Amino acid sequence: MEKDFVEMLNTHRGIIYKVCNLYCYNEEAKKDLFQEIVMQLWKAYPSFRNEALNTSWMYRIGLNTAISNLRKETKKPDRKTITVEEFQIPDISFDTDEEEKLGMLKLAIEKISEIEKAIILLYLEEKTYDEIAEIIGISNSNVGVRLNRIKQKLEKIIKSITL
Amino acid sequence: MNLEELKSAWQVFDRKLQVSKAINEKLILSMIRERSNSRVSRLKRDNTLLMLLMFLEFTFLVAVFVGNPFDFKFLWQYVPFLFISIGNLMAIVMLFKVYKILKTDINDVNLRFFLQNLIETFKKNKKAEGWFGIIMFVSGCLTVFSFFPNKLATKSLSMAVIDTLIPLAISGIIYWIAYKMGAFKNQKEMAFKKDLTELENLQLELQEN
């Protein structure tokens, strides 16, 4: 079972990295969240029998963990982060023009709410409205309305950054 | 620049992530270890605080026996405080036993051994914890009666009885609330047991493959 789990985790590890990058702003917090998401995925894995798409399931658990983790942040006890040397979460850097744009997008996303972050992440991942609705747990029409609002909000923020 | 334009930049990030280093089994094991570690450090802190509290209480009890600040006239008035002292010493011994295990760095020993050892200690302490609870409950209720002779000296019998029963009822309610809130349940043992089962299953599967 764990071989399949590791294989699935490796195939879609980008999902966890993206969630960590969107919800955490420093290396320690990212690693902490990464650890928490993997743990939650591992715990939920026995009950997961390809009932949903791998990616949808991973997004759902990843986003739920990220959001609930943030809510618990203030009362969280001291904890050590992963010390395994070879482990590194790839960061959003600003080397090329495209990456500079990405940095700008990240800066804008930082300014929106946690739920909005989840919706925009799924939109950027080109998930359908149905998939977003299933992962977030809102109605299909609600996704459209919310997404439009978030897009407008983000464009406003981006404009203010570029000015 | 609008959002659609920035969407292409997201693909660059996606490609970058796809070539990132793979995650191995070792990492998953280390995560379970880390999680237990964080629980252990929490336990260490709780343990140290409780020990400190118990030592403080013990100092207070010694002061009661030596200085008689409540003007006790009869020897029996000290009995509830003697019970508390016994419970107090028992708690210190129990906490010290757990502390000895918690002192071990989880990274230096086999995780399975560490968890088994910890669970075993919790099991051994369970009986003593039960006695500790009974002693503290009985002495908590009896302490009120230690002050009865002093109350009787200044009040009528009925007033002294009422004045004794009120704090007794308050004590009872506090114990009942604490019980209902799960203060007497050892949830730490359950959490470590869960970690151990998880680890054992994972190791078993690693051996099979």
Which residues of chain B does A85 touch, with a Cβ-Cβ cutoff of 8 Å? none
Residue of A nearest to B107 (CA): A83
Mutual orientation of helices A2-11 and A54-72 as an angle, nearest 10°? Answer: 80
Q: Do B30 and A96 touch (CB under 8 A)?
A: no
Is the same domain home to A8 and A79?
Answer: yes
Position B85 in a domain: yes
Shared domain check, A73 and A6 = yes
Task: Give the count of domains, chain A.
Answer: 2
Closest residue on chain A to B197 (Cα): A43
Inside any domain, residue B137: yes
A83 and A11 both lie in a single domain: yes
Give domain status of residue B86, yes or no.
yes
Domain boundary among A32, A64, A91: A91
Query: With contacts defined as CB-CB under 8 Å, which chain A residues touch B111?
Result: none
What mean pLDDT comes out for the span A96-110? 78
- On the question of pLDDT at B69 being above 80, the answer is yes
**Are B13 and A42 an interchain contact pair (Cβ–Cβ within 8 Å)?**
no
Please report residues of A whose CB lies closer than 8 A to that of B3: 105, 151, 154-155, 158
Mean pLDDT, residues A134-153 taken together: 84
- Whether the per-residue pLDDT at B173 is higher than 60: the answer is yes
For residues A78 and A105, membership in a common domain is answered with: no
Q: Are A89 and A56 a contacting pair, CB within 8 Å?
A: no
Q: Which residue in A has a C-alpha nearest to residue B24's C-alpha?
A: A6
The SS3 assignment for B106 reads coil
Q: How far lies B123's CA from each of B14, B119, B126, B186, in Å?
A: 50, 6, 5, 10
Categorize the per-residue pLDDT at B119 as very low, low, confident or very high, splitting at 50, 70 and 90.
confident
Q: Return residues 96-155 of A near B (CB < 8 Å).
A: 96, 98-99, 101-102, 104-105, 124, 151, 154-155
Q: Specify whether the CB–CB gap between B90 and B135 falls below 8 A.
A: yes
Query: Both A9 and A60 in a single domain?
Result: yes
Domain that holds residue A151: 95-163
Over residues B5-26, the mean pLDDT reads 75
SS3 B23: coil
The answer, yes or no, to whether residue A76 has pLDDT greater than 60, is no
Tell me what pLDDT residue A80 has: 46
Q: Is A5 on the interface with B (CB under 8 A)?
A: yes
Which H or E run includes B126? helix B111-146
Among the candidates A51, A70, A91, a domain finishes at A91
B199 in any annotated domain: no
Tens digits of residue pLDDT in A16-74: 888 998 888 888 888 888 888 887 887 777 777 666 667 888 888 888 888 877 655 54
Average pLDDT for residues B15-22, to the nearest whole number? Answer: 74
Classify residue B58: in a domain, yes or no. yes
Residue A82 and residue A137 in one domain: no
Reported confidence tier of residue B11, pLDDT bands at 50, 70, 90:
confident
Answer yes or no: do A163 and A125 share one domain.
yes
Which CA distances in Å does B94 have to B71, B80, B181? 33, 21, 22
Q: Do A2 and B35 touch (CB under 8 A)?
A: no
**Alpha-carbon distance B23 to nearest alpha carbon in chain A (angstroms):** 6
Same domain for A103 and A75, yes or no, is: no
**Choosing among A124, A126, A157, A158, which should be mutated to test the B contact, i.e. which has the most B CBs within 10 A?**
A124
Mutate to test the interface with A, among B23, B49, B188, B208 (most CBs of A within 10 A): B23
Scan for tokens 């009942």, then name that residue: B176
> Do A86 and A100 sit in the same domain of this protein?
no
Amino acid present at B114: F
* CA A137 from centroid of its chain's CA atoms: 16
A76 and chain B: CB distance < 8 Å anywhere? no
Q: What is the pLDDT of residues A112-138, one digit of tens each?
A: 888 888 888 888 888 888 888 888 887
Give the pLDDT mean for B66-95: 90
Kindly report, residue by residue over B22-56, the tens digit of the pLDDT. 776 677 667 666 666 666 677 788 888 989 999 99
DSSP label at B22? P
Residues A6 and A64 in one domain: yes
Average model confidence (pLDDT) for chain B? Answer: 79
**Domain closes at, from A49, A65, A91:** A91
CATH number of the domain residue A22 falls in: 1.10.1740.10
- Specify the residue for token string 């996303």: A109
**Number of helical H runs and strand E runs in chain B:** 7, 0
Q: Which of B7, B31, B41 sits opposite A82 (nearest CB)?
A: B31
Full DSSP string of chain A: -HHHHHHHHHHTHHHHHHHHHHH--SHHHHHHHHHHHHHHHHHHGGG--SSS-HHHHHHHHHHHHHHHHHHHGGGPPP-PPP--TT--PPP---SSHHHHHHHHHHHHHHTS-HHHHHHHHHHHTT--HHHHHHHHT--HHHHHHHHHHHHHHHHHHHHHHH-
Which ipTM did the prediction report? Answer: 0.70
Number of domains in chain B: 1
Mark whether A1 and A77 lie in a shared domain.
yes
Buried (b) or exposed (e) across A125-147, using 16+ Cβ within 10 A? bebebebbbbbbeeeeeebeebb
Predicted confidence band at B8 (pLDDT cuts at 50, 70, 90)?
A: confident
Asked whether residue B15 is assigned to any structural domain, the reply reads no
In a domain, B4, yes or no: no
Determine the structural domain holding residue B70 and report its residue range. Answer: 31-184
Distance to chain A for B198, nearest Cα, Å: 9
Does residue A82 share a domain with residue A116? no
pLDDT value of position B159: 92
User: Does residue A17 belong to the interface with chain B, where contact is any CB pair within 8 Å?
Assistant: yes
What is the per-residue pLDDT across A84-95, written as a single tens digit (0 to 9) for each? 445 566 665 555
Residue A114: its pLDDT value, please?
A: 80
